[in-house]
Each structure stands twice: as structure tokens, then as C-alpha cells.
């Protein structure tokens, strides 16, 4: 069986390299001997309803509006989630998964897909820079997530959604001290990077959630060693930057 990793509307929601998230998911399955293919669909193409993981990336205001309209008309993403697929949505993709979001200088409100119990409105500052969050994994242990955020919207979570991670450095959702939201098999978050190459533990979590089973350890010592080194460097850089900023206040 070949599992589909589906990039949804790359031309609309792909300005921050978020396609890299899909590439990581497919490669980490392939490395374990599990067949996977990367599928990219654009507006006007049917979104397959048999995807393992769907990905929505970052985009401009007009792209969000166009993406919501096309996805509501197509309904393939909705059918795919109903069939057991997992959705990972980043930044603009995260915002449009909520009930509503604002765009433009006049903060016009548009309806979202309603897949997450969240609302997004313009914040009092633009969040730009490295973000570091603490993610509590399903087994109760904690892991850090690093990435880069660039968004003007602040997201408020309703009672049906839970935060994805706690912010240590950066802005995330806004004033609540958290980043992202989780509701069922839909996960939204603000960091780009793209975020999954930086944080392969999150990639494996998405795959395990979608497969309904644990994954074997990655049989690539070289990849694991390189990742550990790069991850340590990123954590050191973001914390050093934070400490310098605090000392100059």
C-alpha cells in the first residue's frame, strides 16, 4: 500500500517553503520501508479523500480567501479527514482552519473551514522572528520545537481546541502564552522553517497519529546524528538571542 502525503494548494499556500514538511513525512516513511508518495493538488484539482496526511502552508491574505472557497467547494479534504487522515496546517493554513479570520487593512472578517475551534484577529504587534516552544508529547515527555514565525494575526482558542505547545521564545497564538491548536486529527501551528525538517519528532508524531501505530526507530544513524547537532545549534542560537535582548532592555 502506498500512503499519500498531500500538499494542498502549493501555489496559494506555499510561500515559506512549507512543501518541505511533506517531503520530510514521505522520506521518513520511505526510510522505514513504508511506501509513500508526495501528491500536490492545486485549486481546480480534486483533493484526494484517501490521503494519510494533508498539509496546508503559509500564504497571503487573498490566498487564504481563495483556498477556503476552493476547499469548501471541493470537500475532498473534509472527506479525507472523516476517513481518518491527519491535517497539519501552518500559519495562514492554521488560521483558515478556524471559524473565522481577518484580512486587509480594514480587518474584514472571513469564514474559515471550521476544522478548529479558533478565531483569528489582527494582533497589536506583528510576530516576526525565531520561535521556541515546549511540546508535551503523547507519552508525557517534553520536547522543544524550533521555527520561524511571521504573522500579524493573533489566534484565540475555543473550548473544543487545546494548545499545541507552550511558547518559551516568540509570540505564537498571541497573549495566551501558547502556540497552535489541536482538535481531533487537525493540528495547527505558526512556525515555518519549514518546521518538520527542524523537528522530526513532530513529523513522526503526525505519521503515528495517521497510521494508528508506533513507528520503528529511524534506521539512519547519520541522519539522526546530523539532526541532533543542528538542533543543539538552533536551540543555543535562539536562547542566546533571547538573553541578549533581555540584557539590553
Question: Residue 221 and residue 41: Cα distance in Å, rounded?
Answer: 34
The average confidence (pLDDT) of the chain is 92
How far from 50 is each of 2, 34, 61, 77, 163, CA to CA, in Å?
11, 16, 29, 9, 27
Selection from 212, 202, 205, 99 nearest residue 160 by Cα = 99
Cell 508535551 found at: 136
Tell me the mean pLDDT in the region 5-13. Answer: 96
The answer to whether residues 101 and 181 touch, using CB atoms and an 8 Å cutoff, is no
- Digit-coded pLDDT (tens) for 194-210: 999 999 999 999 999 99
Q: What is the pLDDT of residue 244?
A: 57
Say what percent of the chain tops pLDDT 90.
80
pTM assigned to the model: 0.93
- Digit-coded pLDDT (tens) for 52-92: 999 999 999 999 999 999 999 999 999 999 999 999 999 99
For residue 168, report the phi and psi dihedrals to the nearest 5 degrees: -100, -45
Q: What is the pLDDT of residue 245?
A: 56
The answer to whether residues 54 and 86 touch, using CB atoms and an 8 Å cutoff, is yes
pLDDT confidence band for 225 (50 / 70 / 90):
confident
Q: What is the pLDDT of residue 239?
A: 77
Could you give all domains of the chain from N- to C-terminal order, each with its CATH number? 3-247 (3.40.50.880)
Tell me the mean pLDDT in the region 23-49. Answer: 96
Q: Catalytic site residues?
A: 91, 192
Tell me the mean pLDDT in the region 11-25. Answer: 92
Amino acid at each position: 500500500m502506498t500512503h499519500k502525503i498531500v500538499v494542498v494548494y502549493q501555489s496559494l499556500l506555499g510561500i515559506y517553503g512549507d512543501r518541505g514538511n511533506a517531503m520530510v513525512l514521505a522520506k521518513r516513511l520511505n526510510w522505514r520501508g513504508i511506501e509513500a508518495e508526495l501528491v500536490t493538488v492545486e485549486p481546480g484539482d480534486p483533493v484526494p479523500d484517501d490521503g494519510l496526511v494533508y498539509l496546508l502552508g503559509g500564504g497571503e491574505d487573498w490566498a487564504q480567501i481563495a483556498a477556503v472557497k476552493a476547499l469548501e467547494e471541493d470537500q475532498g479534504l473534509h472527506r479525507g479527514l472523516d476517513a481518518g487522515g491527519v491535517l497539519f496546517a501552518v500559519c495562514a493554513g492554521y488560521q483558515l482552519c478556524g471559524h473565522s479570520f481577518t484580512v486587509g487593512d480594514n480587518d474584514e472578517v472571513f469564514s474559515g473551514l471550521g476544522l478548529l475551534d479558533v478565531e483569528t484577529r489582527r494582533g497589536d504587534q506583528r510576530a516576526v522572528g525565531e520561535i521556541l516552544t515546549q511540546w508535551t508529547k503523547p507519552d508525557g515527555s517534553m520536547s522543544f520545537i524550533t521555527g520561524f514565525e511571521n504573522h500579524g494575526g493573533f489566534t484565540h482558542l475555543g473550548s473544543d481546541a487545546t494548545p499545541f505547545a507552550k511558547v518559551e521564545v516568540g509570540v505564537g497564538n498571541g497573549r495566551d502564552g501558547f502556540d497552535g491548536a489541536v482538535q481531533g486529527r487537525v493540528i495547527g501551528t505558526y512556525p515555518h522553517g519549514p518546521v518538520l525538517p527542524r523537528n522530526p519528532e513532530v513529523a513522526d508524531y503526525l505519521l503515528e497519529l495517521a497510521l494508528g501505530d508506533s513507528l520503528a526507530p529511524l534506521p539512519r544513524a547519520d541522519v539522526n546524528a546530523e539532526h541532533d547537532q543542528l538542533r543543539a545549534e538552533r536551540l543555543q542560537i535562539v536562547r542566546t538571542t533571547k538573553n541578549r535582548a533581555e540584557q539590553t532592555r
